Amino acid sequence: MTIFFKITHLVTVLFFFLSCSETVYYSGKIEDLNINYDYLENKEGVIKELGEPNFIDFIDKKYFYFSEKKITKNFFDKKVIARNILIFNFNENNKIISIKNYDLNDKIDLKYLKKSTENNIMKRGYFEKIFGGIGKNSLADTPQ
């Protein structure tokens, strides 16, 4: 019986040590988040350097590249260290018109409105909620 408790204690201690280890995760197309992309000239060069984009806007002819770096210590402790969105805008000849780079400092804090839609169900009484549609005229009962 004592061997079972020792093994259980050892597994518990190992679980706590392993759950506190720091893990770095990268997601997205761009590995180095601090590269200057001004040397790229056309769409073929962008695809050759960065690969296929995460999203293509065919209306405005823009290519979107997204990348993110996260550090995770455990299930409850996750931090985003770096996030970049690169947007390449092309003209009719596939030449780059503009390059925009957005990072964590460019994020927009959204403010939520406190307005809400009126809820008529809440104004009904208890019995009307239970027996709501009983005894009311329906379309089949109306004279034609």
Please list the pLDDT of the chain residue by residue as tens digits (144 residues). 688 888 888 888 777 666 667 888 888 866 665 666 777 888 888 888 888 888 998 888 899 988 888 888 776 778 888 888 888 999 889 898 888 888 877 776 667 777 777 766 556 666 666 776 665 555 555 555
Q: Is residue 46 a part of any domain in this protein?
A: yes
User: For the chain, what is the domain count?
Assistant: 1
Q: Is residue 9 a part of any domain in this protein?
A: no
Q: Is residue 72 a part of any domain in this protein?
A: yes
Q: Is residue 48 a part of any domain in this protein?
A: yes
Q: Is residue 17 a part of any domain in this protein?
A: no
Q: Is residue 5 a part of any domain in this protein?
A: no
Q: Is residue 1 a part of any domain in this protein?
A: no
- Closest to 91 measured CA to CA, from 47, 57, 42, 56: 42
Residue numbers of the domain that contains 87: 22-107
User: Cα–Cα distance between 19 and 2 in angstroms, integer?
Assistant: 26
| 129 to 33, 101, 116, 121: CA distances (angstroms) | 57, 54, 21, 8
User: Cα–Cα distance between 98 and 88 in angstroms, integer?
Assistant: 6
pTM: predicted TM-score of the whole model, two decimal places: 0.57
Q: Is residue 120 a part of any domain in this protein?
A: no
